[in-house]
Structure 1
């Protein structure tokens, strides 16, 4: 018999897969339980709702974002961008899942957290009182790196990171 933690991990893996294929809102708990070959009540034993399941999948990303932003300090822009890229790369499946169903971010009140994270990173990259043009360049740099993580996830990490960080630095310097 599978241990509960094994079952929970299997549920999360199948849910993530289905959420990426058809979106969170279009995936029912019944579809997840059917794919796993377990009953819906067995799924409810581990997750009381679809929202709880989604939150459990997103939580590692949120925890890493909170830790990352709490420990950020002004420094080398290249290092900040590399660290940011690595964090996003580690959670690229979740980012893809969110892109397929952006309403999930609204439903789970994630938008404000993401904006705060990006504002903090931008402030560290640009310093106090940056111009509007500099803030726009930072938006392009951070957003472009995020897009690279999602769009080029099948390529080797080092290749994507090198090109994405170089492009982000170029956007900041423009």
Structure 2
């Protein structure tokens, strides 16, 4: 019996990401999630107090991975090593979270009132990653290219779901590195 209870949050997240992806975050109700999982609404609230908590459980691990990549990149010596670690680590984190990444890129309602903290977290991460990629003495042109390189790694991940991870990763990194060439 304990195995079923442990699996319920995973099933809830799976149904939620599917519904959020098709109906939008704001357009999906807790009742619809519960029905999709095959549990009562009361059971759903036992596992997650709110839809915002479900969203956090979906996006939090991705943002935690990206924060870890950023921290590890900051400890590297030399701009080339920082860039390599940041771009490769970000690509790996994003590719391993392809399903939930689409929520950040395709559904603006995730940044509504309940998801505002997540939105701030994404923006703060982007700003720090851009500074690291651009380098300590970067001017505005280098910072623009660094921002473009981050977008080159992140944006296509959810737009090309049929491209195998290894192939997509190679192309993402090739494009991002080309943007950073002086």
Question: TM (normalized to structure 1)?
Answer: 0.91
Check the 8 A contact 1:57/1:94 in 2, yes or no.
yes
Matched, 1:90 2:96: yes
Task: Find runs of 4+ consecutive structure 1 residues off by over 4 angstroms.
Answer: none
Provide the residue aligned with 2:141 in structure 1.
133
Choose which of 151, 164, 169 in structure 1 pairs with 2:177: 169
TM-score normalised per structure 2: 0.87
Q: Take 2:36 and 2:69, find their aligned partners in 1: how far apart are those partners?
A: 35
Task: Report the more deviating stretch, 68-77 or 132-141.
Answer: 68-77
Q: Helix, strand or coil for the counterpart of 1:117?
A: helix
Higher relative contact order (CA 8 A, sep 6+): 1
CA shift, 1:167, in A, is 0.8
- 1:124 to partner: Cα distance: 2.1
- RMSD after superposition: 1.7
Once the two structures are TM-superposed, the CA of residue 106 in structure 1 deviates from its matched residue by: 4.3
How far off is 1:71 after superposition? 2.1
1:4 CA displacement: 1.8
Counterpart in the other structure of 1:44: 45
**SS of equivalent residue, structure 2 residue 132:** helix
Aligned length: 174
Q: Where does structure 2 lack aligned partners over 5 or more consecutive residues? A: none
Give the deviation of 1:127 after TM superposition: 1.5
Counterpart Cα distance in 1 of 2:86 and 2:49: 38
- Give how far 1:112 is off: 2.4
Structure 1: runs of 5+ lacking an equivalent:
none
Instruction: Say if 2:125 is the partner of 1:110.
Output: no
**Does the aligned pair in 2 maintain the 1:18–1:32 contact within 8 Å?**
yes
Instruction: Say whether residues 1:149 and 2:157 are aligned partners.
Output: yes
Aligned equivalents of 2:71, 2:111: Cα separation in 1: 21
